[in-house]
Amino acid sequence: MKILDLISFKVIPFLTGQNKKPDVYMTNISYLNNKQLKKSILTSVKYIYGKCIDIGSGCSPYKKFILNNVSEFISVDKGSVHKHMFQTSQEKFIDADLKDLPFENNSLDTIILTQVLEHIDEPFKALVEIKRVIKKDGIIILSVPFIYQAHATPYDYFRFSEYGLKKICQDYNFEILEFHHQGYLGTTLISILNGFIWELASKRKILRNTILLPFLLFIFFINNSLGLLLDLIKLKNYTPNFWLVLKSK
């Protein structure tokens, strides 16, 4: 492994806690978003039960918080890069498309869909599929971005407002049990600023991974501290992400 790759994939994750998501360190560019993610999943875990699928889960960073609540945990994603992480008798991995889920009608108790819907080119078709497979009174954990920079490009298609989400829930007959603003102005501004700084530094990868690295981590620590303070002012129109707990009626 080249020295730059070693720093990118080993040293930086170690210094920022990237491999411990959502428990990343304050040196992580996404510290504020991960802090909100953990807060939301911990308040929502009481709703999760039965046969549960996590769609677009990647490495499923909050699996550890919910395994004790479910009888079966299924990670659903495109590609099998994370398949090796789901090997116990209680969990498994399925390579599938959200718009064509390999489950029978009314067969799932819980569906987790966090930070995925914006990457689906036909999100309303995906919602129809979710409605098909979820049981009556089944639980859907949904999170989506509102004010957030483009990511995973070019597969970043949509943003959702609070009022658009409530209209979707009404149209698809989902009852809103909980509705969280995942951070406020501080998380929004600092997440965008940290992302911009990292993207700018990444144009000079050698400098980023050597001379600049200590300064970048210090800047992220200061920025994240400032974001925590700004979030004390709860300006709900400036939230980066929304988190919903829904019940299918």
- Cis peptide bond N-terminal to 22, omega within 30: yes
Beta strands 174-181 and 134-145, pairing class? unpaired
Structure confidence at residue 187 (pLDDT): 97
CATH 3.40.50.720 fits 3-248, yes or no: no
Average pLDDT score over the chain:
92
Kindly write down the DSSP assignment for every residue of 77-128, as one continuous string: ESSSTTGGG--STTEEEEE-BTTB-SS-TT-EEEEEEES-GGG-SSHHHHHH
Closest CA to 193 of 126, 148, 244: 148
CA Rg value for the chain: 19
CB-based contact 246:172 (threshold 8 Å): no
For residue range 11-52, list pLDDT tens digits in order.
888 889 988 888 999 999 999 999 999 999 999 999 999 999
For residue range 38-88, list pLDDT tens digits in order.
999 999 999 999 999 999 988 788 888 999 999 999 999 987 667 767 777
Beta strands 70-77 and 134-145, pairing class? unpaired
* Token pair in block for residue 162: 């609070």
Structure confidence at residue 1 (pLDDT): 56
In angstroms, rounded to a whole number, what is the distance separating the alpha carbons of residues 183 and 187?
5
Structure confidence at residue 3 (pLDDT): 81
